[in-house]
A and B are shown apart, each in its own frame.
Chain A
């Protein structure tokens, strides 16, 4: 299946995506990034200003939504309140004037698939949120469409149910093997469900790739900061030429860079210049832990500790400015609050991961190791990642 639409309209700008047959593509981005608009354009609920939408090789721009063979799951479920669950699920078939026996058969199959057989005679208001969600899914599934569209289908559920339904939808999609476009603002949902993830911001596609690619090799500062929780540590740094090779200086921390890392990122060209360096919290860890071969150790003063159970996050500050707010922020620059730090320092807060048994306390000074292989470098002007070619680690996996 191919679909492509460069769109002149502001909400979605020149979005061009190809989605494979049976693939689950997640459109993710902050609210207002145009992901829902993009979905509605596929659905036919929104007109395509320019560009083409192709489904199964056919141009669909001027095809009525009902003839596109697309089913959609709405954020609010949008169940018909006066109809029973069975009638809700059967509505599309009834409109298509399918024989009564077939409708009955397919409603039964669908209900079985979703384990809602006992609720077929109830009305939506007698159902819990999770059950309504299933009915909404059923209404889409029964049609056996070419494409499923899901618009934040889990955002109205509580956290635990959301995790459960996430798995169920994923498994269901794999089983039915129907091409699916799934919209969410939740990066965890995007990472766990998508075969591929497309990150959108202000209507512009930032990066498309497998969750692994997006996480390991973010194409720019926005993707780097949006995907991952806690987010990637980012700070301005200067590259200096020392006798032993290149050194990256982040505030008063100086780390010498192994030549192959420098070569991979093309850092030679940046000697004497300022760029943005990034490292994920899990790649800065307490010195007690088993250490990677390419690592640098530094001493940091822990300011704040968050115990998560399986691990402990320690925050420390680095005496260097962060990236420009508009590079990483989800909201347009003019809506940003002034960046005055609440903690009363002018540097950037970094997050590191520690063993729970480390019994980390605020105020403590401790040694941490940085996995240099996992350093990310970004051009401060274009926000783009310097990484020219995939990291060797990513290749292996």
Chain B
């Protein structure tokens, strides 16, 4: 045994090259993580100011001391922000949840029809859908307000929700259509051969494996509806019905800027979108398609 191992050629050059590669391998993550850390710090700096300022008293909030920690930690700004914003948070919730769900369901149905139950002209219709995505809010502000007024929708929030649902259809359709394009045709055909019709196939075969598409769409729609400001400003006329974004804007005093209040209010207003990410994010990466085919 020893004899054979001694006979093995051991060229030094090859070994050193191997060694160098090992060093490089060990260094690569270090570089990577350093770079990532730098970017993370850059991204998180404003968040730091947001949080520390929120805990400061009114007297401490001048921009010159923005970086320093509060000398006295106080929850007064948070308390104040919550009392001011909570009714509007509820408005936003009443707006964003149904609008997100409805536009997602519509996108799912559209995407399914456009990719799996293709009909003549499906591509043209899809292109027209996509056009909708490139129309800026500002361009439709006046006609949209007119239209919604003529619809005689009495309540203000449902009116705004309707606008968001319709405006969301292109992007939700796009996401679902592209996701469904990755579902193999064989699966649909197997379902057809098993005797399932179009709706049954959608319900029993396609929907259960659509979780990733739903998650992406829900995160996207909830975030954009929750964060929208412009539609809310021109569609809602009754100040008590404002969503939180508009209310947040109104915390800015015209003479004195209460930075601590604004900071904590901004953070509170963005919490729900964070929660959606945290709750749904883990489904994001789930590869539900694994095992469908030979793979």
State the A residues within 8 Å of B (CB): 43-45, 65-66, 70-72, 74-83, 91-92, 95-96, 123-127, 129, 132, 139, 143, 156
Q: With A74-B186, A80-B205, A95-B200 known to touch, is A43 a contact of B292 (CB < 8 Å)?
A: no
> Which of B205, B208, B292 is the one whose CB lies under 8 Å from A124?
B292
30 chain-A/chain-B pairs, Cβ below 8 angstroms: A43-B189, A45-B189, A45-B193, A65-B192, A65-B193, A66-B197, A70-B193, A71-B193, A72-B189, A72-B190, A72-B193, A74-B186, A75-B186, A76-B294, A78-B186, A78-B293, A80-B190, A80-B191, A80-B208, A81-B290, A91-B196, A91-B204, A92-B193, A92-B194, A95-B195, A123-B291, A125-B290, A125-B292, A132-B291, A156-B294
Contact indicator per residue, chain B 182-222, by CB within 8 Å of chain A (1) or not (0): 00101101111111110010001100110000000000000
Closest chain-B Cβ to A181's Cβ sits at a distance in Å of 13
Q: Once the chains bind, are A132 and B294 in contact (CB under 8 Å)? A: yes
Nearest opposing residue in chain B for A96, CB measure: B195
Write out the residue numbers on chain A whose beta carbons fall within 8 Å of the beta carbon of B293.
Answer: 76-78
Task: Check A124/B291 contact, CB under 8 A, given A66-B196, A66-B197.
Answer: yes
Contacts of B75 in A (CB 8 A): none
Give A250 to B47 CA distance when docked, in angstroms.
Answer: 88
In the complex formed, the residue of B with least CB distance to A71 is B193
Nearest B residue to A79, CB-CB: B292
Question: Is B208 a contact of A82 with CB atoms below 8 Å?
Answer: yes
Chain B residues with Cβ below 8 Å from A123 are 291
B200 contacts which chain A residues (CB < 8 A)? 95
Residue B41 at the chain A interface, CB threshold 8 Å: no
Residues of B with C-beta under 8 A to A125: 290-292, 295
Chain B positions within 8 Å of A, measured between CB atoms, are 184, 186-187, 189-197, 200, 204-205, 208-209, 288-295
B246 to chain A, nearest CB (A): 42
Taking CB atoms, residues of chain B closer than 8 Å to A78 are 184, 186-187, 189-190, 292-293
Q: Is the CB of B291 within 8 A of A66?
A: no
A144 to chain B, nearest CB (A): 13
The answer to whether A82 touches B195 (Cβ under 8 A) is no
The answer on a CB contact under 8 Å between B193 and A66 is yes
CB–CB B196/A74 < 8 A: no
Top-3 shortest CB links A-B: A125-B291, A78-B186, A81-B292
Given known A74-B186, A95-B194, contact A81–B289 (CB-CB < 8 A)? yes
Q: How far is the CB of B275 from chain A (nearest CB, A)?
A: 27
Instruction: Pick the contact of B186: A76, A126, A143 (CB < 8 A).
Output: A76
Specify which chain A residues have a CB less than 8 angstroms from the CB of B288 in the assembled complex. Answer: 81-82
CB distance A79 to B291 under 8 Å? yes
User: CA A89 – CA B200 in complex, angstroms?
Assistant: 16
Please name 10 further chain A to chain B contacts, defined as beta carbons within 8 Å, in addition to the given A65-B193, A80-B208, A124-B291, sorted by A numbering. A44-B192, A66-B193, A66-B197, A72-B189, A77-B294, A78-B293, A80-B205, A81-B209, A83-B208, A156-B294
